[in-house]
Amino acid sequence: MRYVRGVIVCALFVFLCMPLLAQQTDINRYTLFTGFDYLISRARNLTERGVEADFGVTVKPWLGLGGDFGAMGSDVFSGAGTINGAETVYANLLPPGVASTIHVPFQSTTYTFAAGPQFYLRKWKRVTFLGRPGFGGIHEKADISFPPDLGIIFQELGIPVPSAHQSDTQLFFGLGGGFDVNVSRKIGIRFATDWVNTHLFSNLLTPRQNYVRFSFGPTFRFGHLK
């Protein structure tokens, strides 16, 4: 976590220094981005694909304010996690050397929503770089197929078998960045990456999870910044 905090502080420092480098003056007031999303969480062996929409208002050449919404879904796959308290039970039930990570197939749908500032580096005409710390939330619905052997684990833990239909919502603070390839003054192609750390399904999964989202799509700009 100290490493994560260090990255956040350094990123914010870079973002705040961007106004000193801004050079473009012919700037649009509003920005609308719509594109494809690719969400990954290695802690859960999770991969989802979906769509994202982002709307922003430019208040300074180097600063915009806005928010985004994303919706992603997965096919059925084998997700990974460590159930609360299962390490001790596994030590008694499984042979030495067998990992305590539990793999179960599940299908999920994830929604993200966030808002915050967006800092621009407008040093080059054809490419505009951006960075964005953001505060938001993540909501996920999952349909889980628990293996029959997990019943023994839950009995040893003294807890009932969880529902196969789970949903959870968590807040997060994240960081992101990317660049726009400026096709014209009003149209660009955006490539962006966002990172958040949160703890979905804390009633089942012990560790917090990192989520990385890759975005790609057109950006439409209109209005004029006076």
Instruction: For 95-106, write each residue's pLDDT tens digit.
Output: 444 445 566 778
- Which whole-number Å values give the CA distances from 23 to 20, 30, 179, 183, in the listed order? 9, 18, 16, 18
> Shortest CA distance to 107 belongs to which of 137, 70, 146, 77?
77
Instruction: State whether residue 87 is helix, strand or coil.
Output: helix
- Amino acid at residue number 187: I
Domains of the chain: 2-222 (2.40.160.20)
Phi/psi at 85 (5° precision): 80, 0
The Cα 55–Cα 78 span in angstroms is 35
One DSSP character per residue, 170-187 reads: EEEEEEEEEEEEESSSSE
Sign of CA dihedral 190, 193, 198, 203: positive
pLDDT of residue 100: 52
One DSSP character per residue, 106-171 reads: EEEEEEEEEEEEEEEE--SSSEEEEEEEEEEEEEEEEEE---TTHHHHHHHHT-PPPPSEEEEEEE
Instruction: State whether residue 1 is helix, strand or coil.
Output: coil
The Cα 34–Cα 54 span in angstroms is 6
pTM of the full structure: 0.79
Question: Could you list the pLDDT tens digit for every one of the 226 residues in the chain?
Answer: 555 555 454 555 554 554 444 456 679 999 999 999 999 998 888 889 999 999 999 999 999 999 999 999 876 555 555 554 444 333 344 444 444 556 677 888 999 999 999 999 999 989 999 999 989 999 999 888 877 777 777 777 677 777 889 899 999 999 999 999 999 999 999 999 999 999 998 877 778 899 999 999 999 999 988 7
The Cα 142–Cα 145 span in angstroms is 10
Instruction: Judge whether 208 and 153 are in contact, CB under 8 Å.
Output: no
pLDDT of residue 97: 45
